[in-house]
A and B are shown apart, each in its own frame.
Chain A
Amino acid sequence: MRFPFKTSYNQDIRLFRDRVDVFWYGLLAVAVLVLPLLMDEYYVGESTWVFIYGICGVSLMVLVGYTGLVSLGHAAFLGIGAYAHAFFIMHGAPWVVAVGLAVAITTACGLIVGLPALRMTGIYLAIATLAFSVIIQEVFSRWESVTHGFAGMKVDRPVIFGVAFADDRSFYYLCLFFLVIVLWLTRNLLRAPTGRAWIAIRDSEIAAQSMGVNLAIYKSMAFAYSAGVMGLAGALFAHKIAFLAPDIFNILLSIQFLLLVIVGGLGSLHGALFGAVFVALLPPLIAILRDSIPDSMAEFAAATGITPVASVGAAVGAFLAKPGVEAGIFGLILVLVILLEPLGMYGRWLKIKLFFSTFPMYKASTFKRQKSYMRSERLR
């Protein structure tokens, strides 16, 4: 186990803890840069989703994981970003300008939603954002001069300064670039006074206020920043999905984003990325399993002579092929994560790391939660 010996404040807040960290992140960067050259184009396309969901995850992590404000309506911000971007592109704006405007518009929307949110907490806020997202979805389908309603809107792959990002590989690098920018920006914000104020608000509003944190300013800032990042994700999302329709940005997408941050682990940027990997790769994984389980089970049955195995495999395949099963699997995983591992995937990763670094001395009780009683959230 390494014990970093800190002698100055700068050491405490720097981006990477030590050289070993720099080495591992560098290795990860190299891997992410090289992999698309080795992978099949289909998998490159699927991994692009990881980056887009990663940006969404960072956005929601700032709001939910760091500031403690729950939003059930983030799909609306994604939609506003996507539609604004597509609208400006269609009217001949250069790509960079369109993205800039999309981010600016979503940031403004975030501020507008954030203002009433200052008076609400907990469940009321969740419901208010939910109502907002339902209204916005209706706006998408009715404001046909801008969004084309249910006829939909086609979005081509981006052309930036004359460079076309037409194939999946180049688009992969574009998304990766923006993800890194967003991560870097967010990490810097979080280790600055702004981020510490957010965390203080999350842990106790009253304590934060007593320490001189201006709740109004920092809460609306969190909302605006989160919405702006979501707008950026929306612009990339529009290119990736290539066809915008109002019913994409529904409440289920918002719930999926919340699932992302919870499964990943609340309160860490790592968690946002772990969650993004999970949410982006689970549907293709289910599809692969659906196609391969019956065949492999049948082969196994033929090889061993145990015929019931084949019918079990066929039943599993048929079950996975039914509509709506994916949502149920997501639900099941959400329930299991909240019950068994409230810290999410990142928490599990920390535990595994601690297990190896303290090898024979690991105690499970290190992470054991204290016995907790119900704390009333009615009094605010």
Chain B
Amino acid sequence: MAVGCIYGLVALGFVLIYKATELVNFAQGDLLTLGAFVCYMAVVWWGLDYWVGFVIAVVVIGAFGALLDRVVLRQVIGQPQFAVVMLTIGLGAMFRTFASVTWGSEIYTLPTPFGGVWTIGGVTLSHQYLSIIAGTLVLCGVLYAFFNHTRLGVAMQATSQNQLAAYYMGIPVKLIFSLIWAISAGVAAAAGILLAPVTLIDTNMGLAVALKAFAAAVLGGFGSIPGALFGGIIIGLIELYAGATLPEGFKDTAPYIVLLLMLIVRPQGLFGTLTRKKV
């Protein structure tokens, strides 16, 4: 469940960017890794408070996301989608190398204030997992409020529905793109920090999560925000039950088998819509 929430959060990042700019960001998982590392640096090396580290990491990675959009991804708008996918894959590889050169290939543990456990009716709930679920809920609530109740959020929705119309209405589309990248990268960083106590921090933590999150995004229908979260939780649960009940080896593949079946039966995903181009 908790891991499913992480998948959901990363999938949310994919979907935000896809909805607004129609780019698919394969480097999302590596942004997650970078976020976790920045938080680790802030907390352990500089001795800051966990929450301060959290905010620093989210802001730094968010700013980095906006910069990425401004400098690199702005150039390729209008090129085939495939070229952009490859571009983000290349960026992801660069980030991974950067992380392994800067922080080495050791595995780090991020100290958190969530050490204890609660026992409710014989069920033990560790604070770590609860923190992930709570963090996801809070983030989603904030994003929901932002998108529906602020001027900027509504402008972002308008941009993702129809760029040209939004532009004519006086919305600064380019700025909105950068902001969406910033939000999406920030969400990835937050997911990385929440995930850090569970999987520990190393340079490849993002890749595995991103692949599963991808499955989650597709399962929920690329382009649907509740779908992404829902898909993430489903993927997390499938993984859990497959690991518990099916023979060894199915834990890692079950999400993909479900994904393939899903794509065959209903390619637009659970919540997605697919319209045919009119000629």
Tell me, yes or no, whether A binds B.
yes
What residues of chain A have their CB less than 8 Å away from a CB belonging to chain B? 64, 70, 116, 119-120, 122-124, 126-128, 130-132, 134-135, 138, 141-142, 206, 210, 251, 255, 258-259, 262, 319, 322-325, 327-335, 338-339, 342, 372-380
Besides A126-B85, A131-B259, A134-B252, 8 other CB < 8 A contacts?
A: A132-B260, A135-B253, A258-B86, A334-B86, A334-B89, A334-B90, A338-B87, A379-B277
Please report the C-alpha to C-alpha distance between residue A279 and residue B79 in the assembled complex, in whole angstroms: 24
A8 to chain B, nearest CB (A): 35
Q: Among A70, A135, A329, point to the contact of B85 (Cβ < 8 A).
A: A70
A322-B24 contact, Cβ under 8 Å, with A124-B218, A334-B90, A342-B83: no
Contact pick for A135, options B83, B257, B277, CB 8 Å: B257
Say whether A324 contacts B203, CB under 8 Å: yes
Assembled-state Cα–Cα distance A132/B264 (Å): 12
Q: Indicate whether A374 sits within 8 Å of B77 (C-beta atoms), given known contacts A123-B24, A127-B214, A135-B257.
A: yes
Interface pick from B55-63, B98-106, B115-123, B225-233 = B98-106
Find B97's partner among A130, A324, A338 (CB 8 Å cutoff).
Answer: A324
Cβ of B92 < 8 Å from any Cβ of A?
A: yes
Let me know if B97 and A138 touch, CB within 8 A. Answer: no
Give the complex CA separation of A333 and B93 in angstroms. 11
Check if B2 is an interface residue, CB within 8 A of chain A.
no
**A262 contacts B83, CB within 8 Å?**
yes
B89 touches A255 (CB 8 A): yes
Shortest CB–CB separation between residue A105 and chain B, in angstroms? 19
Contacts A206-B277, A374-B22 given; indicate if A332 touches B94 (C-beta within 8 A): yes
Give A119's nearest chain B residue, CB to CB.
Answer: B267
Q: Residue on B with the closest CB to A206?
A: B279
Residues of B close to A330: CB separation below 8 A: 90, 93
Q: Which residues of A contact B83 (CB under 8 A)?
A: 262, 338, 342
In the docked arrangement, what's the CA distance between A327 and B96, Å?
8
Asked whether any CB of chain A lies closer than 8 Å to the CB of B222, the reply is yes
Measured in the bound complex, the distance between the Cα atoms of B89 and A372 in whole Å is 23
Check B263–A259 contact: CB distance below 8 A.
no
Given contacts A328-B97, A342-B83, contact A138 B252 (CB under 8 A): yes
* Minimal beta-carbon separation of A123 from chain B (angstroms): 5
User: Could you tell me if A259 and B97 are in contact, using CB atoms closer than 8 angstroms?
Assistant: no
CA distance A258 to B89 in the complex (A): 10
A to B CB contacts below 8 Å, 29 in the list: A64-B82, A70-B85, A116-B264, A119-B263, A120-B263, A127-B215, A127-B218, A130-B214, A131-B259, A131-B260, A134-B256, A138-B249, A142-B248, A142-B249, A255-B89, A258-B86, A322-B100, A322-B101, A324-B97, A327-B96, A334-B93, A339-B75, A339-B76, A373-B77, A374-B22, A374-B77, A375-B78, A378-B22, A379-B275
Q: Please tell me the number of chain B residues within 8 Å of chain A, measured between CB atoms.
A: 52
Give residues in B with beta carbon < 8 Å to A: 21-22, 24, 72, 75-79, 81-83, 85-87, 89-94, 96-98, 100-101, 105, 163, 203, 211, 214-215, 218, 222-223, 248-249, 252-253, 256-257, 259-260, 263-264, 267, 274-279
- Leading 7 A-B pairs by shortest Cβ distance: A328-B97, A331-B93, A372-B78, A334-B90, A131-B256, A331-B90, A379-B277
Task: Using A132-B260, A258-B86, A259-B86 as known contacts, say yes or no to A338 and B93 having CB atoms under 8 A apart.
Answer: no
Shortest C-beta distance, A204 to chain B (Å), equals 9
Q: Which residues of A contact B89 (CB under 8 A)?
A: 255, 258, 331, 334
In the assembled complex, the CB of A110 is this many whole angstroms from the nearest CB of chain B, namely 15
A377 to B79, CA, bound (A): 11
Chain A: minimal CB distance from B192 (Å): 19
From B87, B90, B98, B276, residue with most partner A Cβ within 10 Å: B90
Which A residues are CB-close (under 8 A) to B264? 116, 119
Query: How many angstroms from the CA of A244 to the CA of B249 in the assembled complex?
Result: 20
B83 — nearest CB in chain A belongs to which residue? A338
Contact of B259 among A123, A127, A372 (CB under 8 A): A127
**Chain B neighbourhood of A380, CB < 8 A:** 274-277
Q: Which chain A residues border B222 with CB–CB below 8 Å?
A: 123-124
- Closest CB in chain B relative to A302 CB, distance in Å: 28
Nearest-neighbour CB distance to chain B for A208, whole angstroms, equals: 12
Bound-state CA distance A330–B90 (Å) is 7
B93 pairs with A328, CB closer than 8 A: yes
Candidates B76, B91, B248, B267; contact of A120 at CB < 8 Å? B267
The one of A141, A335, A378 in contact with B90, judged by C-beta atoms closer than 8 angstroms, is A335
Q: Is the CB of A335 within 8 A of B96?
A: no
A319 to B98, CA, bound (A): 11
User: Quick check: A116 and B91 within 8 Å, CB to CB?
Assistant: no
Q: Is the CB of B94 within 8 A of A116?
A: no
How far does the Cβ of A84 sit from chain B's closest Cβ, in whole Å? 20
Question: How close is A207's CB to chain B, nearest CB, in angstroms?
Answer: 8
Q: Which residues from chain B contact A124 at a C-beta distance below 8 Å?
A: 218, 222, 263, 267
Q: Across the interface, which residues of B come within 8 angstroms of A329, CB to CB?
A: 97
Q: Nearest chain B CB to A220's CB is how many angstroms away?
A: 14
Task: Determine if A331 and B91 form an interchain contact, defined as CB atoms under 8 angstroms apart.
Answer: yes
Which of B22, B98, B249 is A328 in contact with, Cβ under 8 Å?
B98
